[in-house]
Amino acid sequence: MNPESLAQLSNMAIYSSMLTLAMAMVAFAASFANGQRRSALVVAQESTMSAGGTAVLTKQKSKPTEEPGRRAANIGLSLTWLAFILLLAGVVLRGIWAGRAPWGNMYEFSITAALGILGVYLFMNLRVDLRWLGLFIVIPVLLTLGMAVTVLYTEAAQLVPALKSYWLVIHVLAAIICSGAFTLAAATAGLSLIRDRAERKLPPGTSPTGPLSSRIPDAERLRTITNRVLAFAFPLWTFAVVAGAIWAENAWGRYWGWDPKETWAFITWVVYAAYLHARSTAGWRKNKASWIALAGWVVFLINYFGVNFLASSLHSYAGVSS
Partner 1 sequence: MSALPPISNSGLLRWAWRQLTSMKTALILLFLLALASIPGSLLPQRGIDPIKVRAYITENPTWGPILDRLGFFDGYSSPWFSAVYLLLFVSLIGCVLPRVGVHYRAMRSAPPRAPRMLQRMAGTRSLEVTGSTDEVLLTAQASLRAARWRVVTGPQEDPSWVAAEKGYLRETGNLIFHLSLLVVLVSIAVGGLFGWKGNVIVREGSGFSNTLTQYDAWGGGRFVNAENLAPFSFTLDKFTADFERGTVQRGAPRAFEAEVSFRPDPSAAVQHALIEVNEPLVIDGAKVFLVGHGYAPRIKVTDKTGAVVFDDAVPFLPQDGNFTSTGVVKIPDSTPALGIQGLFLPTAALDAVRGPHSIFPSPDDPALFMSAWKGDLGLDSGTPQSVYRLVTDKMEQIGLEQLKPGESWTLPDGSGTVRFEGYERWASFQIAADPGKEFALFAAAAAILGLMMSLFIRRRRVWVKVLERDGVTVVQLAGIMRTSTFEDDDIGVLAEDLDLVEHALAAAGLVRAEAPPEEES
Give the binding site for partner 1 (CB under 8 A): 154-162, 164-165, 167, 220-221, 224, 227-228, 231-232, 234-235, 238-239, 242, 245-247, 249-260, 263-264, 266-267, 270-271, 273-274, 276-281, 284-285, 299, 307, 311, 319
Q: How far does CA 170 lie from the centroid of its chain?
A: 21
What is the smallest separation between the CB atom of 7 and partner 1, expressed in angstroms?
11
Task: Pick between residue 113 and residue 219 the one whose CB is nearest to partner 1.
Answer: 219
What is the Cα–Cα distance from 313 to 316, expressed in whole angstroms? Answer: 5
Q: Which amino acid is at 172?
A: V
Q: How far does CA 23 lie from the centroid of its chain?
A: 17
What is the smallest separation between the CB atom of 267 and partner 1, expressed in angstroms?
5
What is the smallest separation between the CB atom of 253 and partner 1, expressed in angstroms?
4
Task: Pick between residue 70 and residue 164 the one whose CB is nearest to partner 1.
Answer: 164
- Which of 266, 267, 265, 285 lies closest to 275 in space, CA to CA? 285
Task: Pick between residue 114 and residue 299 the one whose CB is nearest to partner 1.
Answer: 299
Q: Are 134 and 76 in contact (CB under 8 A)?
A: yes
What is the smallest separation between the CB atom of 52 and partner 1, expressed in angstroms?
46
What is the Cα–Cα distance from 66 to 253, expressed in whole angstroms? Answer: 62
Q: Which residues of 223-247 are buried (b: 16+ CB within 10 A; e: fewer)?
A: bebbbbbbebbbeebeebbebbbeb
Q: DSSP character for 161? A: G
Task: Pick between residue 214 and residue 303 the one whose CB is nearest to partner 1.
Answer: 303
What is the smallest separation between the CB atom of 164 and partner 1, expressed in angstroms?
6
Q: Which amino acid is at 188?
A: T
Task: Pick between residue 92 and residue 162 the one whose CB is nearest to partner 1.
Answer: 162
